[in-house]
Each structure stands twice: as structure tokens, then as C-alpha cells.
Amino acid sequence: MDAGAPQNVKGHCPRCDREGMCTASRARKLIEVRGLRIEIETGYLCCSVCGDVFEDPAEVQDSMERGYREYRRRHGMMQPEEIRYLRKLYGLTQRELARLLGWGLVTVSRYENGALQDAAHDKTLRLMSDPHNLIRLLELEPEALHDEKRRRLIARFRDSRSGIYGMARVYAERFGQYDADRLSGYRRLDMAKLLNSVLFLCKDGRAKATLNKILFFADFKHFKEYAGSITGTRYLKTELGPLPEKWYYYLTLLIDRQELGVTEILIGEEIAGERLTARTNPDLSLFSNSELLTLAFVMDHFKGWNAKMISNLIRNERGYIETPERCIIPYPLAADLSI
């Protein structure tokens, strides 16, 4: 068992039914989620009385949640926070979303709180992220919402059906209302630049697992050299690397508009990944010369790198090291960027 440094904590042993001091450690274990074996890290306790080793009860539920999260990641399914964000993007309550989809209120609540959704429900949620389909649902299920709210939503999102930038404006209005400061690279969120940066970086195809990391390097390198980011995107530190806020929605928008193609690839034993390829050319007129040079440099620099190689590089970056988990990485830390 690959355990970490042991610590002494209080615990209740299920074998001798006594409460006392236990030795705590961490180790990897395999769990099975819908037939898929997933390795995760969890905590274990060793009873000082009988010597029995058992999983820390405080982490049992968390272990399953991490297993579910990894299962969703491998199958391209929406995470609970993404379901929650989608509902809030449309300004719906849980009850309204349940009525609109013909689900029970409990089902929506469970999915948003970590329960693993089935594949059919996940597909429905992904389809609903396109405003075309939202409008169809609103028209097919007129009783799901009050008339005034239904009309307001249809009017709001009907304008976005004319093209990708209409929906981009809706996203920016909903999620991009933050100041141009050190967390955004002293730029306001520019959805057009963000979406076209993705198309630029994917014009020859790119593994989905590397895209967010390369986009991070592009924004932070431009800040390092020109004192401003390219897209105004804020990046969260996660175990998967720097992740643009609302990253799922940006990709879904491009995929649903068929601007970005997705193909499945094998990235390891029993591990499926996705490759993203731009189906349309990016609008280069949106970018300054320095922004285009930076995007081209980063794309060329990381040619041939896989997700693990880039992750190893990022973990040594000052910005990643000094930022707490799930916090936004400040752009001024780009002063020590390695590229």
C-alpha cells in the first residue's frame, strides 16, 4: 500500500467496536463505477488496539464522488457544477428545469449534488446547452414555465440563434461580468477572442486534455511580454491543470455550432480521450500582431507534447505552485513563466 506519512487521530474501529487513537495514512485503491475500474486516493485508519486497517469513514462518500467525477471525465459527461451552471445560465430553478425536461425535481437535485447521471439524461442536458434546443423545449412544454418567463427566455435566446457570437454575448453577459484586473490579465473577458483562440490552437487537431493548458500558456506568455492577456480569461487551479472559468460551456458552444469537431482517441490502457479539430477557420482580424505571434509560438512550442508532459511543466510553474486549489491564478505570477 503506497501510504503517505502516518498521523495519529481519533477513530472508531468497526472490528473491536472501540473508539481511540488510530494511525492515519493515505493510499491508492481501486473502485468500480458502472463496470469501470478507477484508481483513487483515500484515507485509511489503523486501530491501535486490534491493529485492523479500515477506510476512514469520513472519506468513504468522498471516494465515491471522486470516482464518479473521474467516470464522467472519461466519458465526456457533465460534472455537477456544470449542470448547475447550465441551469443558472438560463435563469431556471431546479423545479422549472425538471418540468421542462419531464424529470422529477429530486432527479435534478441529485445530479447537481453529485449523483451519477445516466447516459440518456446526460445527452439531454448537453443538447439543452444549445439555445436552439432550449427554445424547442420551451415551445413544446409551454406549461413548464409561467407565460411571462417563457416568452422572455424565448425572446432572449432567439437572437442568439443567428450565430456563434450571439450565444457568446449571452455567455459573457451571464458569466463575464468581472473587472479587468490582475486575475483576468487586465482585460475584460473577450468571448470572440477566446473562441477563436480555441479554433486557432485546434486547426491541426489537438487532444482535449491539452487544450486548456496550452491556452493558459498563451494568455500568460502574452501577459509576461506585453502586460496584458489575450482573452481576459480567468484560470482556476485544478488537479487537471489551469482551467478557464466555465470551460465546458465554451467548448460546448463551439461543438454544438459544428465549429469544432470531436473524435475519440485512446490515451492509455482502457482510458478514452477526445481530439478536437477546428472545422472553420478562426477570425484572425480579431487579434493584434503580438497576440497572433504568441498563439503561433505556443502552438509550435508544444507540438508533439502530450497531456502528461505539459502537466509536469505546469506543476513547476510559480503561478500554479503558489495558488491554492480551486482559486484563480493571478497573471502577475507570469513573470517567472518558463516559456
**One domain for residues 203 and 302:** yes
| Within-domain flag for 107 | yes
State the pLDDT confidence band at 266, using cuts at 50, 70 and 90: low
Question: Could you tell me the three cell numbers for 166?
Answer: 450571439
* Contact residues for 191 (Cβ-Cβ < 8 A; gap 6+): 165, 168, 169, 171, 172, 176, 250
The grid coordinates of residue 136 equal: 424547442
The answer to whether 298 and 221 are in contact (CB under 8 A) is yes
185 shares a domain with 144 = no
Q: Note whether 281 and 224 are same-domain residues.
A: yes
Does 326 or 5 have the greater pLDDT score?
A: 326
89 shares its domain with 147:
yes
Q: In a 3-state reduction of DSSP, which class is residue 275?
A: strand
φ and ψ at 275, to 5 degrees? -115, 130
The pLDDT of residue 212 is 94
Domain count of the fold of the chain: 3
pLDDT at residue 326 tops 90: no
Looking at the fold, whether 93 and 28 belong to one and the same domain comes out as: no
The reply to whether the predicted model has a pTM over 0.85 is no
pLDDT digits (tens, 9 = 90+) for 63-94: 889 899 888 877 878 888 888 878 887 889 99
Higher-confidence position of 202 and 258 = 202
In a domain, 2, yes or no: no
Residues 63 and 102 in one domain: no
The whole-number pLDDT of residue 123 equals 87
User: Does 102 score more than 80 pLDDT?
Assistant: yes
Q: Does residue 196 sit in the same domain as residue 255?
A: yes
Domain membership of residue 168 (yes or no) is no
Is 191 in the same domain as 316?
yes
pLDDT score for 52: 92
In a domain, 173, yes or no: no
Q: Which SS3 state, helix, strand or coil, does residue 274 take?
A: strand
Give residue-wise pLDDT tens across range 21-76.
Answer: 999 998 989 999 999 899 888 899 999 999 999 989 888 888 889 899 888 877 87
Percent of residues, the chain, with pLDDT higher than 70: 90
Last residue of a domain, one of 162, 189, 210: 162
Q: Average pLDDT of 159-169?
A: 52
pLDDT of residue 169: 60
Q: Could you tell me if 251 and 198 are in contact, meaning their C-beta atoms sit under 8 angstroms apart? A: yes
In a domain, 175, yes or no: no
Where would I find the beta strands (DSSP E) of 168-259?
206-207, 235-238, 241-244
Q: What is the DSSP letter of 328?
A: B
The whole-angstrom separation of Cα 98 and Cα 87 is 10
- Output phi, psi for 219, to 5 deg: -65, -45
Domain end residue (candidates: 111, 133, 162): 162
Residues 145, 204, single domain; the answer is no
pLDDT band at 239 (very low <50, low <70, confident <90, very high): confident
Is the same domain home to 302 and 330?
Answer: yes
Does some domain include residue 224?
yes
Find the mean pLDDT for residues 3-13: 76
Rg (CA), the chain: 23
Cα(329)–Cα(332) distance, rounded to whole angstroms?
Answer: 9
Task: Indicate if 52 and 123 belong to the same structural domain.
Answer: no
Q: Is residue 319, in this structure, part of any structural domain at all?
A: yes
What is the domain-level CATH number for residue 25?
3.10.20
Q: What is the DSSP string of 273-291?
A: EEEEEESS---GGGS-HHH
Q: Which domain holds residue 295?
A: 180-336
- The 10s digit of each residue's pLDDT in 205-237 is 999 989 999 999 999 999 999 999 999 999 999
Across residues 263-292, what is the average pLDDT? 83
Burial of 204 (0-12, 13-18, 19+ CB in 10 A): exposed
221/329 same-domain check: yes
Question: What SS3 state is found at 6?
Answer: coil
Question: Which is more confident, 15 or 73?
Answer: 15
- Among 117, 134, 162, give the residue marking a domain's end: 162
Q: What 3-state DSSP class applies to 221?
A: helix
